[in-house]
Amino acid sequence: METIIIVIFIVGYLAIALEHNLKVDKLIPALAMMGVLWAVVAFGIDTFPNWFDSVGHKLIEGFANFSLVERRQLLEETLLHHLGKTSEILFFLLGAMTIVEIIDYFNGFATIKNFVKTKSKKRLLWIFAFLAFILSSIIDNLTATIVLITILQKIIQDKNTRLWFASLIIIAANAGGAWSPIGDVTTTMLWIAKKVTSAKLMEYLIIPSLICMVVPVYIASFMKPFQGNIDDSAQNSMEDSKNKYGARMLYLGLGSIIFVPIFKTITHLPPYVGMMLSLSVVGIFAEIYSRFQFTLSSVSVSEDADVEGYHSPVHKSLTRIEMPSVLFFFGILMAVAALESLGILFIGAEALKEVVHIDTVVMSLGVASAVIDNVPLVAASMGMFQAPIDDHLWHFVAYSAGTGGSMLIIGSAAGVVAMGMEKINFMWYLKKITWLAAVGFVAGAIAFMLIRNLRF
Protein backbone atom coordinates (compact mmCIF):
# COMPACT_ATOMS: atom_id res chain seq x y z
CA MET A 1 0.00 0.00 0.00
CA GLU A 2 2.88 2.37 0.78
CA THR A 3 4.28 1.69 -2.68
CA ILE A 4 0.99 2.71 -4.30
CA ILE A 5 0.96 5.95 -2.29
CA ILE A 6 4.53 6.80 -3.30
CA VAL A 7 3.75 6.12 -6.98
CA ILE A 8 0.68 8.39 -6.81
CA PHE A 9 2.77 11.12 -5.22
CA ILE A 10 5.52 10.83 -7.86
CA VAL A 11 3.01 10.91 -10.74
CA GLY A 12 1.29 13.95 -9.24
CA TYR A 13 4.63 15.62 -8.64
CA LEU A 14 5.67 15.08 -12.27
CA ALA A 15 2.37 16.49 -13.48
CA ILE A 16 3.02 19.64 -11.41
CA ALA A 17 6.60 19.95 -12.66
CA LEU A 18 5.53 19.47 -16.30
CA GLU A 19 2.51 21.79 -16.25
CA HIS A 20 3.91 23.85 -19.14
CA ASN A 21 4.38 20.76 -21.27
CA LEU A 22 1.03 19.18 -20.35
CA LYS A 23 -0.83 22.52 -20.66
CA VAL A 24 -2.62 21.69 -17.40
CA ASP A 25 -2.57 24.13 -14.49
CA LYS A 26 -0.59 22.70 -11.56
CA LEU A 27 -3.57 23.30 -9.28
CA ILE A 28 -5.45 20.38 -10.90
CA PRO A 29 -2.88 17.58 -10.26
CA ALA A 30 -2.18 19.01 -6.79
CA LEU A 31 -5.83 18.76 -5.73
CA ALA A 32 -6.27 15.39 -7.42
CA MET A 33 -3.14 14.02 -5.75
CA MET A 34 -4.31 15.24 -2.35
CA GLY A 35 -7.76 13.67 -2.68
CA VAL A 36 -6.51 10.33 -4.02
CA LEU A 37 -3.72 10.03 -1.44
CA TRP A 38 -5.99 10.54 1.55
CA ALA A 39 -8.58 8.19 0.03
CA VAL A 40 -5.96 5.44 -0.31
CA VAL A 41 -4.80 6.10 3.26
CA ALA A 42 -8.40 5.76 4.48
CA PHE A 43 -8.97 2.51 2.55
CA GLY A 44 -5.72 0.96 3.78
CA ILE A 45 -5.71 2.32 7.33
CA ASP A 46 -5.78 -1.16 8.85
CA THR A 47 -2.65 -2.26 6.95
CA PHE A 48 -0.11 0.45 7.81
CA PRO A 49 2.63 -0.46 10.33
CA ASN A 50 3.53 3.13 11.29
CA TRP A 51 1.84 6.44 12.02
CA PHE A 52 3.61 9.75 12.55
CA ASP A 53 2.64 12.04 15.41
CA SER A 54 2.86 15.53 13.84
CA VAL A 55 2.53 17.23 17.22
CA GLY A 56 5.18 15.16 18.98
CA HIS A 57 7.33 14.84 15.82
CA LYS A 58 7.87 11.12 16.27
CA LEU A 59 6.40 7.77 15.26
CA ILE A 60 3.56 6.59 17.50
CA GLU A 61 4.63 3.62 19.60
CA GLY A 62 2.44 0.54 19.45
CA PHE A 63 0.47 1.72 16.43
CA ALA A 64 0.59 -1.78 14.93
CA ASN A 65 -1.59 -2.97 17.84
CA PHE A 66 -4.28 -0.29 17.43
CA SER A 67 -7.79 -1.48 16.61
CA LEU A 68 -9.51 -0.40 13.37
CA VAL A 69 -11.74 2.02 15.28
CA GLU A 70 -8.73 3.60 17.00
CA ARG A 71 -6.91 3.92 13.69
CA ARG A 72 -9.85 5.64 12.00
CA GLN A 73 -10.24 8.02 14.92
CA LEU A 74 -6.52 8.83 14.72
CA LEU A 75 -6.87 9.38 10.95
CA GLU A 76 -9.67 11.92 11.49
CA GLU A 77 -7.69 13.74 14.19
CA THR A 78 -4.57 13.84 12.01
CA LEU A 79 -6.49 15.12 8.98
CA LEU A 80 -8.09 17.84 11.11
CA HIS A 81 -4.67 18.79 12.52
CA HIS A 82 -3.14 19.18 9.05
CA LEU A 83 -6.18 21.06 7.78
CA GLY A 84 -5.78 23.53 10.64
CA LYS A 85 -2.06 24.04 10.04
CA THR A 86 -2.56 24.41 6.30
CA SER A 87 -5.40 26.88 6.83
CA GLU A 88 -3.10 29.05 8.96
CA ILE A 89 -0.80 29.46 5.97
CA LEU A 90 -3.62 30.01 3.49
CA PHE A 91 -5.42 32.69 5.52
CA PHE A 92 -2.11 34.43 6.15
CA LEU A 93 -1.42 34.52 2.40
CA LEU A 94 -4.97 35.67 1.62
CA GLY A 95 -4.60 38.57 4.05
CA ALA A 96 -1.23 39.60 2.66
CA MET A 97 -2.40 39.37 -0.96
CA THR A 98 -5.49 41.44 -0.21
CA ILE A 99 -3.45 44.22 1.43
CA VAL A 100 -1.16 44.33 -1.61
CA GLU A 101 -4.17 44.51 -3.95
CA ILE A 102 -5.65 47.36 -1.88
CA ILE A 103 -2.38 49.28 -2.23
CA ASP A 104 -2.50 48.69 -5.96
CA TYR A 105 -6.15 49.82 -6.05
CA PHE A 106 -4.97 53.27 -4.95
CA ASN A 107 -1.98 53.06 -7.35
CA GLY A 108 0.31 53.20 -4.33
CA PHE A 109 3.21 51.45 -6.01
CA ALA A 110 3.63 54.35 -8.42
CA THR A 111 5.30 56.13 -5.47
CA ILE A 112 8.29 53.83 -5.88
CA LYS A 113 9.10 55.53 -9.19
CA ASN A 114 10.32 58.54 -7.21
CA PHE A 115 13.45 56.50 -6.42
CA VAL A 116 14.31 56.20 -10.11
CA LYS A 117 16.00 59.43 -11.22
CA THR A 118 19.06 58.22 -13.14
CA LYS A 119 19.66 57.55 -16.85
CA SER A 120 22.68 55.28 -16.30
CA LYS A 121 21.85 51.63 -16.97
CA LYS A 122 24.38 50.45 -14.39
CA ARG A 123 22.94 52.68 -11.65
CA LEU A 124 19.43 51.74 -12.70
CA LEU A 125 20.37 48.07 -12.33
CA TRP A 126 21.55 48.60 -8.75
CA ILE A 127 18.47 50.68 -7.90
CA PHE A 128 16.10 48.01 -9.18
CA ALA A 129 18.11 45.21 -7.55
CA PHE A 130 17.99 46.81 -4.10
CA LEU A 131 14.35 47.80 -4.54
CA ALA A 132 13.55 44.17 -5.40
CA PHE A 133 15.61 42.89 -2.48
CA ILE A 134 13.93 45.16 0.06
CA LEU A 135 10.42 45.20 -1.38
CA SER A 136 10.25 41.40 -1.73
CA SER A 137 11.05 41.00 1.97
CA ILE A 138 7.92 43.03 2.78
CA ILE A 139 5.29 42.23 0.14
CA ASP A 140 6.75 38.87 -1.09
CA ASN A 141 8.94 38.23 -4.12
CA LEU A 142 6.09 37.56 -6.55
CA THR A 143 4.36 40.89 -5.96
CA ALA A 144 7.66 42.79 -5.87
CA THR A 145 8.55 41.38 -9.28
CA ILE A 146 5.19 42.39 -10.76
CA VAL A 147 5.48 45.92 -9.35
CA LEU A 148 9.07 46.49 -10.49
CA ILE A 149 8.66 45.05 -13.98
CA THR A 150 5.57 47.22 -14.42
CA ILE A 151 7.69 50.26 -13.52
CA LEU A 152 10.54 48.97 -15.71
CA GLN A 153 8.24 48.87 -18.73
CA LYS A 154 7.58 52.58 -18.28
CA ILE A 155 11.29 53.44 -18.08
CA ILE A 156 13.01 51.23 -20.67
CA GLN A 157 11.58 50.86 -24.16
CA ASP A 158 14.22 48.56 -25.66
CA LYS A 159 12.92 45.00 -25.37
CA ASN A 160 16.30 43.25 -25.20
CA THR A 161 17.62 45.58 -22.49
CA ARG A 162 14.44 45.10 -20.49
CA LEU A 163 14.85 41.32 -20.59
CA TRP A 164 18.22 41.63 -18.85
CA PHE A 165 16.85 43.97 -16.21
CA ALA A 166 13.81 41.75 -15.58
CA SER A 167 16.05 38.69 -15.18
CA LEU A 168 18.22 40.38 -12.56
CA ILE A 169 15.07 41.54 -10.77
CA ILE A 170 14.05 37.87 -10.49
CA ILE A 171 17.35 36.98 -8.81
CA ALA A 172 17.18 39.97 -6.44
CA ALA A 173 13.52 39.39 -5.54
CA ASN A 174 14.07 35.71 -4.74
CA ALA A 175 17.12 36.58 -2.63
CA GLY A 176 15.18 39.27 -0.78
CA GLY A 177 12.28 36.94 -0.05
CA ALA A 178 14.50 34.27 1.53
CA TRP A 179 15.56 36.22 4.64
CA SER A 180 12.12 37.49 5.63
CA PRO A 181 9.35 35.39 7.20
CA ILE A 182 6.83 37.14 4.94
CA GLY A 183 9.00 37.43 1.83
CA ASP A 184 8.41 34.03 0.26
CA VAL A 185 5.75 31.34 0.57
CA THR A 186 8.34 28.79 1.69
CA THR A 187 9.80 30.97 4.46
CA THR A 188 6.25 31.78 5.56
CA MET A 189 5.53 28.05 5.73
CA LEU A 190 8.60 27.45 7.91
CA TRP A 191 7.75 30.43 10.12
CA ILE A 192 4.11 29.48 10.68
CA ALA A 193 5.10 25.84 11.29
CA LYS A 194 7.41 27.10 14.07
CA LYS A 195 10.54 25.84 12.37
CA VAL A 196 12.12 29.32 12.46
CA THR A 197 11.61 32.61 14.27
CA SER A 198 11.66 35.89 12.40
CA ALA A 199 14.62 37.27 14.41
CA LYS A 200 16.92 34.29 13.85
CA LEU A 201 15.87 33.89 10.22
CA MET A 202 16.87 37.48 9.49
CA GLU A 203 20.03 37.22 11.60
CA TYR A 204 21.41 34.20 9.74
CA LEU A 205 20.07 34.80 6.23
CA ILE A 206 20.22 38.52 5.52
CA ILE A 207 23.96 38.45 4.72
CA PRO A 208 23.88 35.24 2.60
CA SER A 209 20.79 36.54 0.78
CA LEU A 210 22.45 39.92 0.19
CA ILE A 211 25.54 38.17 -1.22
CA CYS A 212 23.29 36.00 -3.39
CA MET A 213 21.91 39.20 -4.90
CA VAL A 214 25.02 41.40 -4.97
CA VAL A 215 27.41 38.92 -6.64
CA PRO A 216 25.38 38.34 -9.86
CA VAL A 217 24.34 42.03 -10.03
CA TYR A 218 27.98 43.12 -9.64
CA ILE A 219 29.10 40.76 -12.41
CA ALA A 220 26.22 41.80 -14.65
CA SER A 221 26.96 45.51 -14.15
CA PHE A 222 30.14 45.06 -16.25
CA MET A 223 28.29 43.33 -19.07
CA LYS A 224 27.34 45.08 -22.31
CA PRO A 225 23.53 45.28 -21.73
CA PHE A 226 24.12 47.48 -18.69
CA GLN A 227 26.55 49.92 -20.26
CA GLY A 228 25.55 53.43 -21.33
CA ASN A 229 22.34 55.36 -20.68
CA ILE A 230 18.67 54.75 -21.33
CA ASP A 231 16.75 56.85 -23.86
CA ASP A 232 15.36 60.18 -22.69
CA SER A 233 12.14 59.46 -24.54
CA ALA A 234 11.60 56.39 -22.38
CA GLN A 235 12.28 58.32 -19.19
CA ASN A 236 9.79 61.01 -20.22
CA SER A 237 7.07 58.45 -20.88
CA MET A 238 6.59 57.60 -17.21
CA GLU A 239 3.08 58.91 -16.76
CA ASP A 240 0.67 57.04 -14.50
CA SER A 241 -2.73 57.99 -13.26
CA LYS A 242 -2.07 59.50 -9.87
CA ASN A 243 -4.08 59.01 -6.71
CA LYS A 244 -3.63 61.46 -3.88
CA TYR A 245 -4.00 58.64 -1.35
CA GLY A 246 -1.53 56.35 -3.15
CA ALA A 247 1.58 57.12 -1.11
CA ARG A 248 -0.41 57.07 2.14
CA MET A 249 -1.88 53.63 1.38
CA LEU A 250 1.53 52.31 0.31
CA TYR A 251 3.15 53.21 3.64
CA LEU A 252 0.12 52.09 5.63
CA GLY A 253 -0.05 48.74 3.80
CA LEU A 254 3.65 47.97 4.05
CA GLY A 255 3.70 49.05 7.69
CA SER A 256 0.74 46.80 8.50
CA ILE A 257 2.48 43.77 6.95
CA ILE A 258 5.69 44.51 8.86
CA PHE A 259 3.58 44.74 12.02
CA VAL A 260 2.55 41.06 11.78
CA PRO A 261 5.84 39.52 13.09
CA ILE A 262 5.84 42.11 15.89
CA PHE A 263 2.25 41.18 16.79
CA LYS A 264 3.17 37.48 16.88
CA THR A 265 6.19 38.16 19.13
CA ILE A 266 4.10 40.18 21.59
CA THR A 267 0.95 38.03 21.73
CA HIS A 268 2.37 34.57 20.78
CA LEU A 269 -0.71 34.14 18.57
CA PRO A 270 -0.44 32.54 15.10
CA PRO A 271 0.63 34.98 12.36
CA TYR A 272 -2.69 34.82 10.50
CA VAL A 273 -4.39 36.56 13.45
CA GLY A 274 -2.05 39.53 13.14
CA MET A 275 -2.48 39.54 9.36
CA MET A 276 -6.27 39.67 9.69
CA LEU A 277 -5.93 42.56 12.14
CA SER A 278 -3.63 44.39 9.73
CA LEU A 279 -6.06 43.76 6.86
CA SER A 280 -8.92 45.22 8.90
CA VAL A 281 -6.95 48.39 9.64
CA VAL A 282 -5.91 48.85 6.00
CA GLY A 283 -9.47 48.07 4.93
CA ILE A 284 -10.92 50.76 7.22
CA PHE A 285 -8.70 53.45 5.72
CA ALA A 286 -9.33 52.16 2.20
CA GLU A 287 -13.09 52.41 2.70
CA ILE A 288 -12.81 55.91 4.19
CA TYR A 289 -10.64 57.23 1.34
CA SER A 290 -12.81 55.49 -1.27
CA ARG A 291 -16.06 56.94 0.12
CA PHE A 292 -14.46 60.37 0.29
CA GLN A 293 -13.62 60.09 -3.40
CA PHE A 294 -17.23 59.17 -4.19
CA THR A 295 -18.41 62.13 -2.15
CA LEU A 296 -16.39 64.43 -4.40
CA SER A 297 -17.81 62.72 -7.50
CA SER A 298 -21.29 63.02 -8.91
CA VAL A 299 -24.09 61.20 -7.10
CA SER A 300 -24.94 59.17 -10.19
CA VAL A 301 -21.40 57.73 -10.39
CA SER A 302 -21.50 56.72 -6.77
CA GLU A 303 -24.88 55.02 -7.15
CA ASP A 304 -23.82 53.14 -10.29
CA ALA A 305 -20.69 51.90 -8.57
CA ASP A 306 -22.79 50.75 -5.62
CA VAL A 307 -25.15 48.80 -7.87
CA GLU A 308 -22.22 46.97 -9.47
CA GLY A 309 -20.83 46.10 -6.03
CA TYR A 310 -17.33 47.38 -6.80
CA HIS A 311 -17.47 50.62 -4.86
CA SER A 312 -15.59 48.90 -2.05
CA PRO A 313 -11.80 48.68 -2.57
CA VAL A 314 -11.71 45.66 -0.27
CA HIS A 315 -14.31 43.79 -2.34
CA LYS A 316 -12.55 44.61 -5.58
CA SER A 317 -9.17 43.60 -4.15
CA LEU A 318 -10.57 40.25 -3.05
CA THR A 319 -11.77 39.55 -6.59
CA ARG A 320 -8.20 39.94 -7.84
CA ILE A 321 -6.70 37.38 -5.46
CA GLU A 322 -4.90 34.47 -7.15
CA MET A 323 -7.24 31.74 -5.89
CA PRO A 324 -5.63 29.06 -8.13
CA SER A 325 -2.35 29.63 -6.26
CA VAL A 326 -4.11 29.39 -2.90
CA LEU A 327 -5.79 26.12 -3.88
CA PHE A 328 -2.49 24.78 -5.20
CA PHE A 329 -0.84 25.43 -1.84
CA PHE A 330 -3.74 23.68 -0.14
CA GLY A 331 -3.51 20.63 -2.38
CA ILE A 332 0.25 20.18 -2.21
CA LEU A 333 0.53 20.77 1.55
CA MET A 334 -2.25 18.30 2.32
CA ALA A 335 -0.76 15.75 -0.11
CA VAL A 336 2.62 15.93 1.60
CA ALA A 337 0.82 15.66 4.95
CA ALA A 338 -0.49 12.24 3.86
CA LEU A 339 3.06 10.96 3.33
CA GLU A 340 4.17 12.51 6.59
CA SER A 341 1.33 10.89 8.54
CA LEU A 342 2.40 7.41 7.40
CA GLY A 343 5.98 8.10 8.53
CA ILE A 344 7.31 7.69 4.97
CA LEU A 345 9.12 11.05 4.93
CA PHE A 346 10.53 10.55 8.42
CA ILE A 347 11.91 7.08 7.70
CA GLY A 348 13.26 8.21 4.31
CA ALA A 349 15.05 11.19 5.86
CA GLU A 350 16.68 9.05 8.52
CA ALA A 351 18.03 6.68 5.83
CA LEU A 352 19.19 9.58 3.64
CA LYS A 353 21.11 11.30 6.44
CA GLU A 354 23.18 8.17 6.98
CA VAL A 355 24.65 8.17 3.46
CA VAL A 356 24.71 11.87 2.42
CA HIS A 357 25.90 14.96 4.31
CA ILE A 358 22.97 17.14 5.34
CA ASP A 359 24.40 20.25 3.64
CA THR A 360 24.54 18.37 0.35
CA VAL A 361 20.91 17.32 0.77
CA VAL A 362 19.77 20.91 1.43
CA MET A 363 21.78 22.39 -1.45
CA SER A 364 20.34 19.70 -3.73
CA LEU A 365 16.93 20.86 -2.57
CA GLY A 366 17.86 24.35 -3.79
CA VAL A 367 18.92 23.05 -7.20
CA ALA A 368 15.79 20.91 -7.42
CA SER A 369 13.63 23.96 -6.65
CA ALA A 370 14.74 25.39 -10.00
CA VAL A 371 13.02 22.48 -11.73
CA ILE A 372 10.25 21.60 -9.29
CA ASP A 373 8.05 24.02 -7.36
CA ASN A 374 9.72 24.93 -4.06
CA VAL A 375 6.46 24.74 -2.07
CA PRO A 376 6.20 20.91 -2.19
CA LEU A 377 9.95 20.60 -1.65
CA VAL A 378 9.84 22.62 1.56
CA ALA A 379 6.65 20.88 2.63
CA ALA A 380 8.43 17.56 2.17
CA SER A 381 11.50 18.75 4.10
CA MET A 382 9.25 19.78 7.01
CA GLY A 383 8.05 16.21 7.17
CA MET A 384 11.50 14.69 6.63
CA PHE A 385 13.60 16.55 9.16
CA GLN A 386 12.79 16.76 12.86
CA ALA A 387 15.26 19.46 13.91
CA PRO A 388 14.14 21.88 16.67
CA ILE A 389 13.02 25.44 16.06
CA ASP A 390 15.73 27.78 14.73
CA ASP A 391 18.07 24.90 14.00
CA HIS A 392 20.52 25.95 11.26
CA LEU A 393 19.05 23.22 9.07
CA TRP A 394 15.80 25.19 8.70
CA HIS A 395 17.65 28.42 7.92
CA PHE A 396 19.59 26.65 5.19
CA VAL A 397 16.39 25.09 3.82
CA ALA A 398 14.81 28.56 3.68
CA TYR A 399 17.81 29.98 1.84
CA SER A 400 18.19 27.11 -0.64
CA ALA A 401 14.51 26.82 -1.53
CA GLY A 402 14.06 30.58 -1.73
CA THR A 403 17.05 31.39 -3.94
CA GLY A 404 17.69 28.17 -5.88
CA GLY A 405 14.65 28.73 -8.08
CA SER A 406 16.37 31.69 -9.75
CA MET A 407 18.52 29.29 -11.77
CA LEU A 408 15.67 28.60 -14.20
CA ILE A 409 12.97 30.98 -15.41
CA ILE A 410 10.29 28.47 -14.38
CA GLY A 411 11.95 27.76 -11.01
CA SER A 412 10.11 30.41 -8.99
CA ALA A 413 6.83 32.28 -8.94
CA ALA A 414 8.76 35.50 -9.60
CA GLY A 415 10.37 33.94 -12.68
CA VAL A 416 7.10 32.60 -14.06
CA VAL A 417 5.32 35.95 -13.73
CA ALA A 418 8.28 37.78 -15.31
CA MET A 419 8.28 35.22 -18.10
CA GLY A 420 4.64 36.07 -18.78
CA MET A 421 5.02 39.84 -18.51
CA GLU A 422 8.13 40.11 -20.71
CA LYS A 423 7.80 36.92 -22.79
CA ILE A 424 11.23 35.74 -21.64
CA ASN A 425 12.36 32.67 -23.56
CA PHE A 426 13.32 29.64 -21.46
CA MET A 427 16.48 28.89 -23.46
CA TRP A 428 17.53 32.58 -23.53
CA TYR A 429 17.35 32.69 -19.75
CA LEU A 430 19.21 29.37 -19.47
CA LYS A 431 22.09 30.62 -21.66
CA LYS A 432 22.34 34.19 -20.36
CA ILE A 433 21.18 34.23 -16.74
CA THR A 434 21.36 30.74 -15.20
CA TRP A 435 25.12 30.91 -14.59
CA LEU A 436 24.75 34.28 -12.86
CA ALA A 437 22.02 32.94 -10.58
CA ALA A 438 24.08 29.80 -9.85
CA VAL A 439 27.15 31.84 -8.90
CA GLY A 440 25.02 33.94 -6.54
CA PHE A 441 23.37 30.84 -5.05
CA VAL A 442 26.70 29.14 -4.32
CA ALA A 443 28.29 32.35 -2.97
CA GLY A 444 25.38 32.86 -0.58
CA ALA A 445 25.44 29.20 0.51
CA ILE A 446 29.16 29.44 1.32
CA ALA A 447 28.52 32.65 3.27
CA PHE A 448 25.76 30.94 5.26
CA MET A 449 27.97 27.96 6.15
CA LEU A 450 30.77 30.28 7.26
CA ILE A 451 28.39 32.33 9.44
CA ARG A 452 26.87 29.16 10.87
CA ASN A 453 30.25 27.66 11.75
CA LEU A 454 31.51 30.90 13.32
CA ARG A 455 28.43 31.30 15.53
CA PHE A 456 27.78 27.64 16.30
Q: What's the pLDDT score for residue 223?
A: 92
CA separation for the pair 159, 35 (Å, rounded):
44
Position 153 confidence tier, pLDDT thresholds 50, 70, 90: confident
CA atoms of 251 and 312, how far apart (whole Å): 20
Residue ranges of domains in the chain: 1-48+108-240+322-456
CA distances (Å), origin 76, targets 71, 83, 309, 348, 439? 9, 10, 40, 24, 47
Q: What pLDDT is stored for residue 232 in this prediction?
A: 55
**Per residue in 301-331, is it b (16+ CB within 10 Å) or e — as a string?**
ebeeeeeeeebbbbebbeeeeeeebbbbbbb
Rg (CA), the chain: 23
351 versus 431: which is more confidently predicted? 431
pLDDT tens for 240-278 read 456 778 888 888 988 888 888 888 888 888 888 998 999
Contact status, residue 167 vs residue 424, Cβ threshold 8 Å: yes
3-state secondary structure 53-108: ECCCCEECCCHHHCCHHHHHHHHHHHHHHHHHHHHHHHHHHHHHHHHHHHHHHCCH
Long-range contact pairs involving 225-228 (C-beta distance under 8 Å, separation at least 24): 225/121, 225/160, 225/161, 225/164, 226/121, 226/122, 226/125, 226/164, 227/121, 227/122, 228/120, 228/121
Q: What integer pLDDT is reported at residue 234 of this predicted model? A: 45
pLDDT recorded at residue 398: 92
Comparing CA positions, the residue from 278, 301, 274, 275 lying closest to residue 290 is 301
Reported pTM: 0.71
Residue 413 has pLDDT above 80, yes or no: no
pLDDT tens-digit map of 377-400: 787 777 777 788 888 889 999 999
The residues near 360 (Cβ < 8 Å, ≥ 6 apart) are none
Beta bridge partners of 52: 59
- Model confidence over 72-127: pLDDT tens digits? 999 999 899 889 888 887 888 788 888 888 888 888 877 777 667 778 889 999 99
What are the beta bridge partners of residue 125? none
pLDDT at residue 304 in the model: 41
Helix (H) / strand (E) element for 52: namely strand 52-53
Backbone angles phi, psi at 159, to 5 degrees: -60, -45
pLDDT digits (tens, 9 = 90+) for 6-41: 899 889 878 877 777 788 887 898 899 999 999 999
Mean pLDDT of 226-235: 69
The whole-angstrom separation of Cα 62 and Cα 219 is 58
In 106-140, alpha helices (H): 121-139
Lowest mean pLDDT of 115-119, 308-312, 407-411, name the range. Answer: 308-312
The per-residue pLDDT for 176 is 93
Average pLDDT of the chain to the nearest whole number: 83
Indicate whether 216 pLDDT > 90: yes
